Amino acid sequence: MQQTDLTTYSKGGFHPGAGFVKRMLWFCVNACFFTTYFPFSGLKIWILRIFGARVGEGLVLKPAVNIKYPWKLTIGNHVWIGEKVWIDNLAQVTIGDHSCLSQGAYILCGNHNFRKSSFDLMTAPVTLEAGVWICARAVVCPGVICHSHAVLTTGSVTGGNLEAYSIYQGNPARRVKERKLE
């Protein structure tokens, strides 16, 4: 498994992609409508678009979802995002058509360079191509590309790319078998 290179930022060099006022407004809106058990997907989708997310048709957005920066989020058509999913998108996150993020899944775009005393922030985008399933409580780390119809099983953690039509399991995740669709 090969991982995309992390983009390293020195302390103070990271830019969230929006000004202070927009970030604070999003923080409040996220706390009121997204991280709570507010049930109405349609209103939440509208709010995401207002804040710059690119969202396709047919998104199901369950309660208690945490999204760091909607302006760094692209979601395709007919995507399911389950309860307590956390999209910690310090960098761009792209979710392809007909993908599913099950309950408690964690999409992580940032990490720290533990080799440096300054503990610099490192960020990299995450891409989930069409038909990807990130199962409950699974973690996708920065720079990962989950290729078409890959599956990351419950509780698994991947720091490397997932091959198309493959099922991965464990920590670190390893390919366990081919995914065959009917």
Task: Catalogue all structural domains in the chain, each as residue range(s) with its CATH number.
Answer: 18-176 (2.160.10.10)
What is the reported pTM?
Answer: 0.91
pLDDT tens column, 73-125:
999 999 999 999 999 999 999 999 999 999 999 999 999 888 888 888 889 99
Q: Are 120 and 113 in contact (CB under 8 A)?
A: yes
Model confidence pLDDT, tens digit, residues 3-54: 455 554 444 567 899 999 999 999 999 999 999 999 889 999 999 999 999 9
CA–CA gap between residue 29 and residue 94 (Å, rounded): 22
- The C-alpha atoms of residue 27 and residue 34 are separated, in whole angstroms, by 10
From 7, 26, 16, 38, select the one nearest 120 (Cα to Cα).
7
Work out the pLDDT band at 1, boundaries 50, 70, 90: very low
